[in-house]
Amino acid sequence: MRKNETTGLLFALCGFATLSLGDVVVKSMSGLWPPTAIAATRYALGAIALSGLLALREGRGGFDLPHPRVQLLRGFGVALATVGFFTAITFIPLAAATSLTFTSPMITALLAAVVLGEPARRETVVASLVAFGGVLVVLRPNFAAAGAAALLPLLSALGMSLLMIGNRFVAGKASSLAMQFSVAVMATPLLLLAMAGGHFSGLSRFVLTMPDWTVLARCALVACSASLAHWLIYMGTTRAGPATVAPMTYVQLLVATVCGWAFFGDRPDGLTMLGAAIIVGAGLFLWQAGRRRERLGQA
């Protein structure tokens, strides 16, 4: 049992680190192609690859996805999160953007109270207020440098929270591969619309051009790395349980900080690291409170 848990934690650790490495590849394309086009290409390639895998493993039945409206919500959440984050890291350091997305657990808990009717527990309110304080600390230097674009990671966090809410509705209704495919296939047309909207918006950063082949290759690399990362996280979750592996997500901040500094010269200042620590602390407090409730429920 202990060996399974250790193996699960290692799987999850590698998965979350791989996600952050994919973000590094995305940031390396800043200014070379619109972030909306990068996002659309990444999910289009992912949808094609996942459809092939799903057909091989589950046949036609694997494409019968439950609750189409909820699947659309999941796809919208991923599209919002991807565009928000990919655009954010063209304006602000990778570590700052990553730290702000860690407000997602608190946003999810608040949305669950509104949408799912779950009780708004005291620890949820406390964690949300503390995280909000951390957000203000992180935003202080970044808002001055990037303006309203510094708020984009919060849009990404909202998108991930919508995905989590959708996941609760469809949990156990289909295989993990089918659920990955449904997200990709629902997000792709929304991202293509965002790409077209950006092109015709008149904003130079979003105008489509013919990309260099290396840009397309990097998009393909991100699609592959993200699929690998989600598989590793899934394997970790099945071995150790979601509550056990949840804190492993914060390895993304460590990888983002080191890689941002090493590859892009984004040395995080003291305020950004303080704010990130406050947000992470709020997330860990909320996680620990959930674990405590689980233990009391099992007693």
pLDDT value of residue 1? 54
Burial class (CB in 10 A: 0-12, 13-18, 19+), 292: exposed
Reading the chain (299 residues) residue by residue, the pLDDT tens digits are 556 778 888 988 999 999 999 999 999 999 999 999 999 999 999 999 999 999 999 998 889 888 899 999 999 999 999 999 999 999 999 999 999 999 998 888 888 888 777 777 888 888 889 999 999 999 887 777 778 888 999 999 999 999 988 888 887 788 888 988 999 999 999 999 999 999 999 889 999 999 999 999 999 999 999 988 888 888 887 787 776 777 888 999 999 999 999 999 998 888 889 999 999 999 888 888 877 776 766 55
Among residues 43, 37, 95, 6, the alpha carbon closest in space to that of 227 is found at 43
Q: pTM of the full predicted structure? A: 0.90
Q: How far is CA 38 from CA 31, 74, 85, 271, in A?
A: 11, 19, 11, 30
